[in-house]
């Protein structure tokens, strides 16, 4: 062996020896904690938003197209706000009387929201469409929606009904109806405001006089 050559020193860990890890800088821990808090806050906000914004009736009524109804002063019109159908029903508890807004209401129209009940095996002609005349013709019973009112949804025997009557000639364009309810009976059931949008106009004119 050439003694003048540089000798190589090889360091081997002893069996079972643990490698020493580089210490984690404090700012890395702080950053990880901040990311975790941001994720938890985001999840909390989304959960709260879901919990306080039920969506049983909201959205745009019908297909979103503008609709109009020609009518006389004093004529009662009714139309469904929710349609009767089967499915897993739950109890909806209203926490206030629904609030409605008109874009225009020169016809001094009034609107109430009722719960229409249909008896089993009864036939209600036009029950899911516009109807003029008293809704009692096809509802077995009517109950006004107010604080504490309940009904089962979805159900083939109950649905929400809007009842409108104009007092004089003019125009009444419905803008929104906002409901305040709890969708279910559990402590975690959704509760809060749910707004339904409309493009619906009642054109009210006096009937022609006959000589």
d(CA 30, CA 27): 5
What average pLDDT score do residues 44-55 get?
61
**Domains of the chain, start order:** 55-204 (2.60.40)
pTM attached to this predicted model: 0.73
d(CA 42, CA 45): 5
**Residue 55: what pLDDT?**
86
**Residue 170: what pLDDT?**
96
Give the contacts of 197 (CB within 8 A, at least 6 positions apart).
Answer: 59, 60, 61, 175, 176
Query: Which is nearest to 165 in space by CA: 98, 61, 79, 103?
Result: 79
d(CA 112, CA 145): 8
**Residue 89: what pLDDT?**
84
**Residue 126: what pLDDT?**
46
| pLDDT higher than 80, residue 28 | no
**Residue 139: what pLDDT?**
87
123-161, pLDDT tens digit by residue? 554 446 788 888 888 888 999 999 999 999 888 888 899
Tell which wins on pLDDT, 15 or 36. 36
**Residue 45: what pLDDT?**
47
What average pLDDT score do residues 69-93 get?
87
Structure tokens at 98: 């629904």
């Amino acid at each position: 062996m050439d003694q003048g050559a540089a000798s190589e020193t090889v360091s081997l860990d002893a069996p079972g020896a643990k490698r020493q890890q580089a210490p984690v800088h404090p700012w890395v821990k702080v950053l990880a904690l901040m990311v975790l808090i941001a994720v938890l806050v985001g999840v909390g906000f989304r959960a709260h938003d879901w919990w306080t914004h039920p969506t049983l009736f909201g959205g745009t009524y019908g297909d979103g197209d503008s609709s109009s109804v020609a009518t006389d002063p004093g004529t009662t019109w009714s139309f469904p706000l929710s349609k009767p159908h089967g499915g897993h029903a739950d109890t909806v508890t209203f926490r206030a009387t629904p609030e409605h807004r008109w874009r225009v209401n020169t016809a001094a129209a009034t609107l109430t929201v009722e719960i229409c009940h249909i008896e089993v095996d009864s036939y209600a002609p036009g029950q899911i469409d516009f109807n003029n005349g008293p809704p009692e013709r096809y509802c077995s019973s009517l109950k006004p929606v107010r604080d504490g009112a309940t009904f089962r949804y979805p159900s083939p025997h109950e649905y929400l009904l809007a009842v409108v009557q104009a007092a004089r000639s003019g125009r009444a364009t419905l803008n929104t109806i906002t409901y305040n309810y709890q969708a279910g009976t559990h402590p975690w059931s959704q509760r809060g405001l749910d707004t339904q949008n409309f493009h619906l106009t009642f054109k009210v004119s006096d009937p022609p006089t006959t000589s």
